Structure 1
């Protein structure tokens, strides 16, 4: 699957990658078992790299596991274009190793995979690729371009897009005569949840309520992005204590108070049991939650479907992003221009993005847990229909949301450090210990005094 999002629990000071997070669940066991071309853009290699030599060696860092294998398989097609560029592909714990490596400048790689929420922290150490990436800028999803832009310069190569969707049990909705098309707003979702509970029994608590503070913060920011805001605006001003975030807190409180939510850590054993047992029926989450129906759920595989998120107001936006990752080229890389050519191939060339997302040895049906962020790559279906979703055309469903995703989104440099405040306070709301407004006011005050004022 695609990498899982970075998250930090309140008890853990260091980020946990999306991949690492899954290793703490049943997912690890199951997982272990298991366009416009370059010429069309008018770009030759010498033009994009200022006429520099097209030979040499580059060291590329990626996390070990499935994505390492997927990216590794693209090197052969890259070397057909650039036979004199040797790619030394190294599996490392990027979250643990990259910060100290960039700070010390010792044994710096030429390129590395990195989670979007981590990007701002080390941005002063990234190579400025603004000029190189210009031929592709107009075709990059605005959200991804924004999170890779710092002080007006583009410092990262946008990779995957992780749109939000509403996953639901189609058979149970049919059983109680609920048409998914009527789930237009979050109020509709609450009403449908009551209908399901009334007809299927009190043990049914249809809506997922996330229990991990780090994932909670990421999840809530998906809902915020859907409303066109983020934790800070482009000038760094806090936006947590705002009507948009209050909408989210009120929704979560209502689900909790009305007893229609299953509170569990994403795809933990308890969550899987509730999903497979017909107790948890709705999950508004990123596209990468398809991993559950595909590989974790045994009894209900094929019974799940996905659709656009409900809107916050009737007729409102139903598109949002939850998580994502990019590639960075360090300032002190030995061959930054050659690393750019590799990422240019991987992200913007049909040969590259088809090798990543299309059927391959690692994923016979293709990589369906995210999307390319380069819009020409979205013009043709790259992965097969989903077995976990009863052969639903997930590609068509998720690409249909992209046009509605707000590009007005900023990750603050203190994003991970805010989890013990914001993510943890949302959990206190779900514990019944705080009101929606108290969560926002206290979180904003804590972040302002303990993170922003001290930075």
Structure 2
């Protein structure tokens, strides 16, 4: 079967950073002036729509979910197309030619195309209270919901069970980041060559990763008024801890799923990986000798009793303002996101994921029932019931996280400086102050 690692897609997102602002579109600008509303007609759904999804595993998963929709609405024809959405959608929205009726799009990019999307505030209103707050926040631009929130990518702590047991470390006792650091030292005492904690060596992914830790504290790069808040307590707390991991010699600096990363995961050099749920892809499809030895637990908290998860990544469905049949596109996405039959088809057992799609969980809270798992325990993770861990983590993510329109371009400053911090070439204070100054000057004031 063909699967695309989340890293492959996210690197494309990083490369697309220059397209985020969509030319002259102002950040935070309102979407179309005519919000999409529910049809007053009780007539049977009929018509034809074109839907774009990126190629790979999710295209196949969504294809099955679309089939469940058209089975209920046989007069609707869905032209489901696999395209490079990141590369094609921004330019298509600007030109206005051959615009799809709907598309699957990464949350980090949605703010950049918001002026070209339908306002879905009225349509999502009946579900608003049941959407994970952090997801509703990233789908809202200028007070309007511009995307149908699809998945949650909660942060978890992945660990090598055999390595921890060999060092006398109980994963259940790792409930704060101080305890995580202490566990790393205990593992290193057992094996001096170990550098247990993963430190991300990719500029884009490192920025996304740090935002996971920050969102766990209810923070973001901007506040509710759009003011830059990079040089703030949440970021300082995270970077100070990462600098300790580096300075105390208990971190492995490696690019996610690249050769060095995979080799050190396999040989036990790395055994503690705080990452998004989609790390579960690695033991299932990339790791060999350590397959079956990985488990997951909630992230540690920054303060005792604090939130045990943050958000790292995520995607939503968007409906372009120039779509020919936006009502039908909404009906499809409503089915896939908010109806049990739809989201169960997406996450349930299928030909691509026989045990169910397990690299994320729905953002629709009624779907996160621990007693009604949408995917099965994962053999490649020792048979662990990841559904229970991930849904509990998803429910615990604080609200307040926002993605500014220039987030991808900030990698040129903050993402780059993060790598200098992790290489011991910059201090925490310099990274925050210099990155904030550059972002303010080059990305905010220059607009």
223, 226, 232: which is aligned to 2:213?
Answer: 223
Which residue is equivalent to 2:327?
337
Which residue is equivalent to 1:24?
none
Which residue is equivalent to 1:439?
431
Which residue is equivalent to 1:355?
345
Question: CA shift at 1:244, angstroms?
Answer: 1.1
Which residue is equivalent to 1:384?
376
Specify the SS of the correspondent of 2:308.
Answer: coil
Contact 1:161 1:370 in 2 (8 A): yes
Question: CA shift at 1:350, angstroms?
Answer: 1.2
Unaligned runs of 5+ in 1: 17-46
Distance across 1 between alignment mates of 2:82 and 2:173: 46
Unaligned runs of 5+ in 2: 19-36
Question: CA shift at 1:174, angstroms?
Answer: 1.0
83, 86, 90: which is aligned to 1:92?
Answer: 83
Which residue is equivalent to 1:145?
136
Contact 2:206 2:418 in 1 (8 A): yes
Which residue is equivalent to 1:25?
none
Change in 2 beyond 3 A, CA 1:335/1:52: farther
RMSD: 1.8
- Give 1:19-418 correspondences, 5 Å limit: 48-51=38-41, 54-200=45-191, 202-379=192-369, 380-418=372-410
Distance across 2 between alignment mates of 1:360 and 1:414: 37
Distance across 2 between alignment mates of 1:410 and 1:81: 36
Question: CA shift at 1:3, angstroms?
Answer: 6.6
Distance across 2 between alignment mates of 1:157 and 1:126: 11
Contact 1:60 1:112 in 2 (8 A): yes
Which residue is equivalent to 2:31?
none
Pick which of 93-102 and 175-184 moved more.
Answer: 175-184
Contact 1:321 1:405 in 2 (8 A): yes
Question: CA shift at 1:119, angstroms?
Answer: 0.4
Contact 2:17 2:409 in 1 (8 A): no
Distance across 2 between alignment mates of 1:295 and 1:407: 32
Change in 2 beyond 3 A, CA 1:89/1:9: closer
Specify the SS of the correspondent of 1:118.
Answer: helix
Q: Deviations over 1:240-262 (max 9, x none)?
A: 10111111111111111111101
Q: Deviations over 1:114-136 (max 9, x none)?
A: 00010000101101111112221
Q: Deviations over 1:358-417 (max 9, x none)?
A: 001111010000001111111220000011210011000111122321111110000000
Question: CA shift at 1:279, angstroms?
Answer: 0.5
Specify the SS of the correspondent of 2:331.
Answer: helix
Contact 1:160 1:372 in 2 (8 A): yes
Distance across 2 between alignment mates of 1:74 and 1:405: 27
Question: CA shift at 1:182, angstroms?
Answer: 1.3
Contact 2:4 2:56 in 1 (8 A): no
Distance across 2 between alignment mates of 1:121 and 1:151: 12
Which residue is equivalent to 1:29?
none
Distance across 1 between alignment mates of 2:407 and 2:380: 33
Contact 1:9 1:419 in 2 (8 A): no
Q: Deviations over 1:223-273 (max 9, x none)?
A: 000011001111111111011111111111111111110110001111010
Question: CA shift at 1:173, angstroms?
Answer: 1.1
Q: Deviations over 1:144-193 (max 9, x none)?
A: 11111111111100001000000001111111211111111111111111
Contact 2:12 2:86 in 1 (8 A): no
Change in 2 beyond 3 A, CA 1:383/1:8: closer
Count of aligned pairs between the two proteins: 424
Specify the SS of the correspondent of 2:343.
Answer: helix
Q: Deviations over 1:255-307 (max 9, x none)?
A: 11111101100011110100000110000000000111111111111111100
Question: CA shift at 1:329, angstroms?
Answer: 0.2
Which residue is equivalent to 2:422?
430
Which residue is equivalent to 1:420?
412
Contact 1:383 1:395 in 2 (8 A): yes
Which residue is equivalent to 2:443?
451
Specify the SS of the correspondent of 1:205.
Answer: coil
